[in-house]
Amino acid sequence: MSKAAGKTLFLFPGLDAVLDAEKIRRWLDVPSVRQTLESASESLSEATGREHSLVDLFAEMRRPQDVDEDLIHIGLIAIQYAIALESEKRVIPDILTGCSHGDLGRMAFAGCLPLWDTIRMAWASAQLRTRCVPGVNASARSVSGRLTTEQLDWLRKQDVVVSQWTHHHATAAGSLETIRDLRERAIRHGLKMHILLRVPVHSPLMRPVVDEALRISQQFHLEPPRYPIFSSVYVRRIGDVTELKQEAVDASLSEIRWMETLTRLIEEEGIRRIVCIGPSSTLANWIMDDDDIKGVEVIDAWDLCRTQARQAGSLPSRPDASPSA
């Protein structure tokens, strides 16, 4: 693939990327990924004062919903960082995009903050969630397949914040009482809802914690990213360190605009290849089957890294310079 064929995006999905335990476990046999998880476990253990093994967490995980959400979040940061470095050996990205929790893996890979500091910052911020109004983030899917404009309009008129991830999947964040009531009424509108996260991330209910989280972030020195970053919160490029910090705050409080971001990346940034860092690629694996999106190739990072020899002749090599961890 030549650069003339279009630009390459590295996509860092959110927690949906760890819902497929089998796709996580296959990465544990990759030495560099396993080593990164082991090192990240040491950093996490140091930050918490308790022993943690992210390798064991992923090796033994069967239902991600039954695992501590904070540990899953830290594990996602570490494994995305490692997968992105492996992918970078095979193809050089032109731009990076994160969605929701994937923004932190993106930040570490971009060299804005060392992985170990990213983990410490994420863990400290996660412990603040008990200060939020009791709330949740719930999945919303149409019982008939594709979400309709009417269904999305109805959802957005409720007392929740809606983020759309695919033509078939959206999430609604709000108070626990609101979501419980909404689940009952959603059925009459052809929507099936279930709780994903027991924290109202991507809604104003996070306001009690974001100021303290921003204060925590001030303890860490961020560097400008080594690759351009396109924000799925602002739907534009960002690069200033102050903007990166503010993006993290705004991502907690507002919707993630992935569908708009995807359109802008294709039409204005010239993206023609999306490498989904994963570990699984539900955020992007529908794109090549969408009749409205033409000329965009989606590559699972696993396929990219597993077939290094076959791809080597067509993909640009990574420069000798490597990022500091």
94 compared with 127, residue with greater pLDDT: 94
Q: Is the pLDDT of residue 219 over 80?
A: yes
238 compared with 324, residue with greater pLDDT: 238
Return d(Cα 233, Cα 106) in angstroms, integer.
14
Indicate the DSSP class of residue 8.
Answer: E
Cβ-in-10-Å burial (0-12, 13-18, 19+) of 311 comes to middle
The reported pLDDT for the residue numbered 35 is 96
Tokens encoding 127: 């412990």
The reported pLDDT for the residue numbered 58 is 93
The reported pLDDT for the residue numbered 311 is 33
pLDDT-derived band at 65, boundaries 50, 70, 90: low
Q: What is the pLDDT of residues 161-217, one digit of tens each?
A: 999 999 999 999 999 999 999 999 999 999 999 998 888 999 999 988 888 888 888
Range of lowest pLDDT (129-133, 142-146, 214-218, 247-251):
129-133
Does domain 133-197 sit in CATH 3.40.50.300?
A: no
Average pLDDT for residues 271-291, to the nearest whole number?
91
* In the chain, domain spans: 3-130+204-311, 133-197
Cis peptide before 200 (omega within 30 of 0): no
The reported pLDDT for the residue numbered 232 is 98
Dihedral sign, Cα of residue 271, residue 277, residue 280, residue 283: negative
Please state the CATH superfamily assignment of the domain spanning residues 3-130+204-311 in this structure.
Malonyl-Coenzyme A Acyl Carrier Protein, domain 2 (3.40.366.10)
Q: Are strands 236-238 and 229-231 parallel, antiparallel or unpaired?
A: antiparallel
| Residue whose structure tokens are 């929740």 | 160
Identify which of 322, 281, 313 has the alpha carbon closest to the alpha carbon of residue 13.
Answer: 281
The reported pLDDT for the residue numbered 88 is 98
Return d(Cα 195, Cα 87) in angstroms, integer.
32
CA 249 centroid distance within chain: 15
Report the 10 Å Cβ neighbour count for 74.
27
Q: What is the pLDDT of residues 108-124, one digit of tens each?
A: 999 999 999 999 999 98
Q: What is the pTM of this model?
A: 0.90
DSSP for 189-258, please give it.
GTEEEEEEESS--SSGGGHHHHHHHHHHHTTS-----SS-EEETTTTEEE--HHHHHHHHHHHHHS---H
Average pLDDT for residues 244-253, to the nearest whole number?
90
Return d(Cα 185, Cα 201) in angstroms, integer.
22
Identify which of 276, 219, 281 has the alpha carbon closest to the alpha carbon of residue 245.
Answer: 219
Distance between terminal CA atoms of the chain?
A: 29
